[in-house]
Amino acid sequence: MTESYKAAVYLKFSVILNILIILVTFFPLHHTPTPDLSLATTSSCGPTPTPPSTWSIRDIERDRWSRHPKLWATTGKVNHNKGLGQAGAVGHVKELEDCSMCAVAPELCKEIGENNMRRAQAYLGVYSQLAVGWSSDAGYLGTGERIQRFIAKAKSGEGFTVGVIGGSVSNGQGLGTPLNKIAPMNLHRRIFDHLNKLFPAKGGVSIGRYEEGKNSFVSGALGGTGSDYFSYCFHEHIPQETDLVLLELAINDELLLKNFESYENLIRGVLDMPNHPAILNLQVFALVFKQLASGGDIHEGVSKFYDIPIISLRGAILHDILANASLVPEYFINHKDGSVDVRHISQNGHRVQGELGIAYLQTQVCEMGKREDLRTKPYQRFHVASLPRMRIMQPYDDSSVTPRLSPNCLSAHSEGSNRLVPSMNDGWREWAWEDKNYWVSDEPMSKASFNFTTVLGTVELFYLRSKTFKLGNIACWVDDDDHKAVTLIGHWEMTYNIGQGTRIRDDLSPGEHTMHCELLRATNDPSGGHEFRIISLMRYVNS
E-only strand ranges, 389-435: 406-411, 424-426, 429-433
Q: What does the pLDDT average to over 1-16? A: 51
pLDDT in tens, 120-165: 886 554 444 444 433 333 322 357 789 999 999 999 999 999 999 9
What is the reported pLDDT for 174? Answer: 83
pLDDT in tens, 183-204: 999 999 999 999 999 999 999 9
Q: Give the count of beta carbons closer than 10 Å to the beta carbon of residue 17.
A: 10
Question: Is the full-model pTM beyond 0.85?
Answer: no
User: Measured on CA atoms in the order 294, 269, 191, 166, is the torsion positive or negative?
Assistant: negative
pLDDT in tens, 63-104: 333 333 333 333 344 444 434 433 223 223 344 468 888 989
User: Among 78-87, 431-440, 474-483, which is the least confidently predicted range?
Assistant: 78-87
User: Among 140-144, 370-374, 461-465, 512-516, which is the least confidently predicted range?
Assistant: 140-144
User: Average pLDDT of the chain?
Assistant: 81
Mention every residue, 6+ apart, whose C-beta is less than 8 A from residue 113.
320
CA 355 to CA 108: how far, in whole Å?
7
Residue 14 pLDDT level (bands cut at 50, 70, 90): low
pLDDT in tens, 216-274: 999 999 998 999 999 999 999 999 999 999 999 999 998 988 899 999 999 999 999 99
What is the reported pLDDT for 42? Answer: 37
Q: Give the count of beta carbons closer than 10 Å to the beta carbon of residue 163.
A: 29
Q: Which residue has the higher pLDDT, 92 or 107?
A: 107
Q: Give the count of beta carbons closer than 10 Å to the beta carbon of residue 474.
A: 25
H/E element holding 108?
Answer: helix 106-112
Taking 60 as the threshold, does the pLDDT of residue 534 lie above it? Answer: yes
What is the reported pLDDT for 141? Answer: 34
In this structure, CATH architecture of domain 102-376: 3-Layer(aba) Sandwich (3.40)
- CATH number, domain 406-542: 2.60.120.260
Taking 50 as the threshold, does the pLDDT of residue 280 lie above it? Answer: yes
In one-letter notation, the amino acid at residue 97 is E
CA 213 to CA 508: how far, in whole Å?
44
